[in-house]
Amino acid sequence: MATPRRALVTGAASGIGAACARRLAADGVQVVAVDYDRDALEALDGVETVVADLADLDRLAELPADVDILVNNAGVQQVAPIEQFPPERFSYIVRLMLESPFRLIRQTLPHMYGRGWGRVINISSVHGLRASPFKAAYVAAKHGLEGLSKVVALEGAAHGVTSNCVNPAYVRTPLVTDQLADQAATHGLTESEVLEKVMLEPVAVKRLIEPDEVAELVAVLCGPASASITGSSFVLDGGWTAH
Which helix (H) or strand (E) element contains residue 214? helix 211-221
Rounded to 10 degrees, the C-alpha dihedral 203/208/211/213 comes to -50
Q: Taking a C-beta distance cutoff of 8 angstroms, is the pair 71, 54 a contact?
A: no
Distance between first and last Cα of the chain: 49
Q: Tell me, what DSSP letter sits at residue 171?
A: B
The yes-or-no answer on residue 138 being catalytic is: yes
- 9 touches 169 (CB < 8 A): no
- Asked if residues 228 and 116 have their Cβ atoms less than 8 Å apart, the reply is no
Amino acid letter, 152: V
Catalytic hit among 36, 92, 138, 170: 138
- State the Cα torsion 183-179-15-161 to the nearest 10°: 70
How far is the C-alpha of 179 from the C-alpha of 183, rounded, in Å?
6
Q: How far is CA 18 from the centre of its chain?
A: 11
User: Kind and range of the H or E element at 119?
Assistant: strand 118-123
Which sequence positions are flagged as catalytic?
138
